[in-house]
C-alpha cells in the first residue's frame, strides 16, 4: 500500500484540528493509501514531544527546518501563525514536499503569488485550509447552483462574524499586529467568506470596501496598565461584483456579540434562493419559483447519506456533522490528490486569488473607490 507521511508544524487550535483529521480520515473514507503521522514541530523540543504523544505522531522536533528537510516527510502541514507561512512553504517546496497550509496563505497577494509560482514550478501538490467549502451541505448548495435549480445566480450575500474579540478588555495578541497577521478580520474570517463566494458564484471582479478598528487598544497580558496598539481591522464590509455579472455584499467582524461561528450566506438566482448558516451546518434552506401559491416559503433540507460525502460519516439523515468532520474531508482530498493525481482545491492559486481580494479591499478603503481585480 502506498504511504503518505505527514509532518505537522504548529500544535495550537488549528494544529489539533488537523491532527484529529489525520487520525480519523482513514476510518471514514476508503483512502488510496496509508496516512502516517510522522513528525511534529513546535517552538521548543519539550512541547513538541508532548504534543506528538497527544496527537499520535511518531517523532518530534523543536526546529521546523528539521521537519521540512526530513527525507521521510511527504507533506508539510503548516499550522503556524500567518507571518511564517511564506518562509515555511517556500522551504518545503524547495525540499520537494507537498504543502498543506492554513489560511490565509500569506500576508499579502505579492507573497501569495510567489508561493504559488514556486509550487507550480516545482510540481508539488498544495491545499489551503478553507475547510467550510468541504461541508457536505455546502457541496449540496454548489450542486443545486450548478444544476441550475435556482436559475442564474444574480446575488450573493455572505457574512462571517464572531465575538472572540468583542470584549474591549480582551488581551492583546499577535493577531492584532500587521507584521504577524496582516489584515485583521478581513484576512482571518473574511478570507473564508471570500473563498466561499468564489466557490459558489464566480471570481470577484470588483470591490468597494469599508474597514474599521473599533477597539484601538487592548491590555497586554499580565499587566493592568500597559496597552497594545491594535494595527488592523475589527470589522469589514464590502460590495462586490462577480466575473459572471452577479453582485453581492460580504461582511466580517470579530466583535459581533453572540456570533460564535457566524458564517452565513444567501444565494439568489432567477428561479429561487438558498440560505446556509454554519451554526446549523447540516441544514440548507431552499426556495424555488415553482412552489404553489399556498405553499410558499423556504423549506429546510437536512443533509443525509444521499448528499455528497455524508454517507461516509453516518448512514442516517439529519444526525449532523461537526467542524472536525469538514477537516476530515479536507484531509481525504489531500491524500487522494497526492496518490491519485486528483485535482486539489482550494490550492495555492485559489488562495492567492483570495489574497488579491483582501488587498483590493484595503486599497478600496484607503482610496475610497471601487477596485478592479485581474485574477491570474
233 within some domain: yes
Residues 124 and 137 in one domain: no
372 within some domain: no
225: pLDDT strictly greater than 90: no
373 within some domain: no
pLDDT of the residue at 30:
96
Residue 250 · residue 266 · CB < 8 Å:
no
Residues 166 and 125 in one domain: no
228 within some domain: yes
Contacts of 303-306 with C-beta under 8 Å, sequence gap 24+, read 303/136, 303/137, 303/140
CATH number at residue 125: 3.40.50.720
Average pLDDT over residues 328-333: 98
Burial class of 231 by CB neighbour count within 10 A (0 to 12, 13 to 18, 19+): middle
Average pLDDT over residues 57-82: 98
Burial class of 240 by CB neighbour count within 10 A (0 to 12, 13 to 18, 19+): buried
Average pLDDT over residues 262-289: 97
Residue 127 forms beta bridges with which residues? 100
pLDDT of the residue at 1:
66
Residue 128 · residue 82 · CB < 8 Å:
no
pLDDT band of 290, cuts 50, 70, 90 = confident
Domains held by the chain: number: 2
Structural domain ending residue among the three candidates 130, 150, 182: 130
Residues 265 and 174 in one domain: yes
pLDDT of the residue at 296:
86
Residues 14 and 44 in one domain: yes
Residues 177 and 274 in one domain: yes
Going by C-beta distance under 8 Å and a sequence separation of 6 or more, which residues neighbour residue 166? 254, 255, 256, 257
328 within some domain: no
Average pLDDT over residues 280-301: 91
Residues 21 and 159 in one domain: no
Structural domain ending residue among the three candidates 109, 130, 151: 130
Residue 373 · residue 73 · CB < 8 Å:
no
Cell of 125: 501538490
Average pLDDT over residues 260-272: 98
pLDDT of the residue at 222:
79
| Backbone dihedral angles phi then psi of residue 326, each to the nearest 5 degrees | -65, -35
147 within some domain: yes
* pLDDT (tens digit per residue) in 180-211: 999 999 999 999 999 999 999 999 999 999 99
Residues 171 and 37 in one domain: no
* pLDDT (tens digit per residue) in 109-139: 999 999 999 999 999 999 999 999 999 999 9
pLDDT of the residue at 374:
84
Among 201, 339, 189, which Cα is nearest to 260's?
189
The CA-to-CA distance between both ends of the chain, in Å, stands at: 38
Going by C-beta distance under 8 Å and a sequence separation of 6 or more, which residues neighbour residue 96? 122, 124
pLDDT band of 376, cuts 50, 70, 90 = low
Residues 271 and 213 in one domain: yes
* pLDDT (tens digit per residue) in 142-165: 999 999 999 999 999 999 999 999
Distance CA 199, CA 283 (A): 18
Residues 141 and 187 in one domain: yes
Residues 125 and 159 in one domain: no
* pLDDT (tens digit per residue) in 303-314: 999 999 999 999
332-341 in b/e form (b: 16+ CB < 10 A) is bbbbbbbbee
**Residue 19: domain span:** 3-130
Residues 142 and 82 in one domain: no
Residues 142 and 115 in one domain: no
**Angle between helix 109-122 and helix 85-94 axes, rounded to 10 deg:** 10
Distance CA 44, CA 113 (A): 31
Helix, strand, coil content of the chain in percent (nearest 5) = 40, 25, 35
346: preceding bond cis by omega (within 30 degrees): yes
Distance CA 5, CA 110 (A): 30
CATH number at residue 222: 3.30.360.10
Average pLDDT, the chain: 96
Burial class of 238 by CB neighbour count within 10 A (0 to 12, 13 to 18, 19+): buried
Strands laid side by side in the 262-269 sheet: 299-302, 283-288, 272-277, 262-269, 153-161, 247-253, 235-242, 204-212, 371-372
Among 239, 282, 235, which Cα is nearest to 259's?
235
Structural domain ending residue among the three candidates 61, 95, 130: 130
pLDDT of the residue at 259:
97
41: pLDDT strictly greater than 70: yes
Average pLDDT over residues 28-50: 97
Residue 202 · residue 142 · CB < 8 Å:
no
Amino acid at each position: 500500500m502506498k504511504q503518505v507521511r505527514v509532518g505537522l508544524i504548529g500544535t495550537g487550535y488549528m494544529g489539533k484540528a488537523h491532527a484529529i483529521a489525520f487520525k480519523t480520515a482513514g476510518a471514514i473514507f476508503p483512502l488510496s493509501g496509508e496516512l502516517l503521522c510522522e513528525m511534529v514541530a513546535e517552538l521548543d523540543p519539550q512541547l513538541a514531544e508532548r504534543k506528538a504523544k497527544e496527537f499520535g505522531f511518531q517523532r518530534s522536533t523543536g526546529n521546523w527546518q528539521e521537519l521540512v528537510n526530513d527525507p521521510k516527510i511527504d507533506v508539510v502541514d503548516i499550522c503556524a501563525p500567518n507571518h511564517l507561512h511564506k518562509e515555511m512553504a517556500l522551504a518545503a517546496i524547495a525540499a520537494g514536499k507537498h504543502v498543506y497550509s492554513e489560511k490565509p496563505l500569506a500576508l499579502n497577494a505579492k507573497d501569495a503569488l510567489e508561493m504559488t509560482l514556486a509550487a507550480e514550478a516545482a510540481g508539488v501538490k498544495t491545499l489551503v485550509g478553507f475547510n467550510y467549502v468541504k461541508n457536505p451541505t455546502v457541496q449540496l448548495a454548489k450542486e443545486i447552483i450548478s444544476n441550475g435549480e435556482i436559475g442564474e445566480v444574480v446575488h450573493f450575500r455572505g457574512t462571517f462574524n464572531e465575538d472572540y474579540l468583542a470584549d474591549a478588555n480582551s488581551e492583546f495578541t499577535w493577531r492584532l499586529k500587521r507584521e504577524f497577521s496582516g489584515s485583521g478580520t478581513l484576512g482571518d474570517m473574511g478570507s473564508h467568506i471570500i473563498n466561499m463566494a468564489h466557490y459558489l458564484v464566480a471570481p470577484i471582479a470588483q470591490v468597494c470596501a469599508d474597514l474599521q478598528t473599533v477597539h484601538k487598544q487592548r491590555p497586554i497580558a499580565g499587566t493592568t496598565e500597559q496597552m497594545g496598539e491594535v494595527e488592523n481591522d475589527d470589522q469589514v464590509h464590502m460590495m462586490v461584483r462577480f466575473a459572471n455579472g452577479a453582485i453581492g455584499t460580504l461582511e466580517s467582524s470579530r466583535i459581533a456579540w453572540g456570533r460564535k461561528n457566524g458564517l452565513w450566506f444567501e444565494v439568489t438566482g432567477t428561479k429561487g434562493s438558498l440560505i446556509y448558516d454554519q451554526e446549523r451546518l447540516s441544514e440548507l434552506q431552499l426556495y424555488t419559483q415553482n412552489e404553489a401559491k399556498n405553499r410558499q416559503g423556504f423549506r429546510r433540507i437536512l443533509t443525509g447519506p444521499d448528499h455528497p460525502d455524508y454517507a461516509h460519516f453516518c448512514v442516517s439523515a439529519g444526525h449532523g456533522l461537526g467542524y472536525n468532520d469538514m477537516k476530515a474531508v479536507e484531509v481525504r482530498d489531500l491524500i487522494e490528490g497526492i496518490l491519485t493525481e486528483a485535482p486539489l482545491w482550494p490550492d495555492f492559486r485559489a488562495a492567492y486569488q483570495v489574497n488579491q481580494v483582501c488587498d483590493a479591499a484595503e486599497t478600496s478603503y484607503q482610496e475610497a473607490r471601487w477596485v478592479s481585480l485581474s485574477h491570474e
